[in-house]
Amino acid sequence: MSVKFGLIGGGVMGEALLSRLIAQKIYLGSEALVSEPDSSRQIYLEEKYGVSVTADNRLVFSQATEVVFLAVKSQIFSAIAQELAEVLETAKPLVISILAGVPISNLEAAFPNIPVIRAMPNTPLTVGEGVTAICLGAYTKAIHQETARQIFSAVGKVVEVPETLMDAVTGLSGSGPGYVALFVEALADGGVAAGLPRAIAYQLALQTVHGTAKLLQETKIHPAELKDRVTSAGGTTIAGIAQLEAAGFRSAIIEAVKAATARSQELGK
């Protein structure tokens, strides 16, 4: 069977995507080829997902007929691009990159006249609950756009943005799981400070965040409306919110997104 999906980089993000694509039968294991330098990792991926594995990135690029997915560290992109230059004359798959800070201009310079899509997923994709922003290169067509949407829909939601907004996406959803994790930890610490056992406080904090996000998503109500619904006159919630406002909670979150966006812009240079 021919190779349709090629994956360069069998790390956490690459494996998460691969596992969901195979589980949802978007690609069969026999249709995927993964390049991974670590021999123990090669054996693991081959045995768990039934994929072919190699240490040769060129083999992946030359054999994949539909998509080559780049999931390596941004720092080694130049080296990999030079390596793949040898097979560019004969191979023209769609290239999808999740390399942070590597703009489409760099990708298209490395893969001339080849359709390129830049993507910024976040870590919840490892459990199928990610959100991925994509932006399209000059040579992408509707069929390439649909392929990218199908791939990333396997691990969560997909939005399309112009590349000028990718740093903002990085600052919000790319870095956002870190902010949310910090909030869950703080919420649990607050429970412990109020007298709850650690395990129960953590369980309450985690489910409260999870349930609130699901409630907002399914009911489509605005967060401000939900806040108003649970904030009664002279009650406990307004007392807590008053403390958050006094501490500049909302402003701190806004500034965190702005700072992460600025850092993403610096790394891109």
**Mean pLDDT of the 209-213 span:** 97
Instruction: Give the number of other Cβ atoms within 10 Å of residue 222's Cβ.
Output: 10
Domains of the chain: 5-166 (3.40.50.720), 174-268 (1.10.3730.10)
Q: What is the pLDDT of residue 1?
A: 61
Instruction: Say if CB 56 and CB 35 are below 8 A apart.
Output: yes
**Mean pLDDT of the 204-213 span:** 98
pLDDT at 206 over 90: yes
Q: How confident is the model at residue 89 (pLDDT cuts 50, 70, 90)?
A: confident
pLDDT digits (tens, 9 = 90+) for 94-132: 999 998 889 999 999 999 999 999 999 999 998 999 999
Which range (49-58, 82-91, 195-204) has the least confidence? 82-91
Instruction: Say if CB 119 and CB 98 are below 8 A apart.
Output: yes
**Mean pLDDT of the 206-228 span:** 97
Q: What is the pLDDT of residue 84?
A: 86
Q: How confident is the model at residue 212 (pLDDT cuts 50, 70, 90)?
A: very high
- pTM of structure: 0.89
Q: Name the residue type at position 229.
A: R
What average pLDDT does the structure give for the chain?
Answer: 93
Instruction: Say if CB 36 and CB 28 are below 8 A apart.
Output: no
pLDDT digits (tens, 9 = 90+) for 21-77: 999 899 999 999 999 999 999 999 999 999 999 999 999 988 888 999 999 988 888
Cα distances (Å, whole numbers) of residue 198 to 185, 190, 202, 211: 11, 10, 6, 20
Task: Characterise 130 by phi-psi region: left (phi > 0), alpha (psi -120 to 50), beta (else).
Answer: beta
181 SS3 class: helix
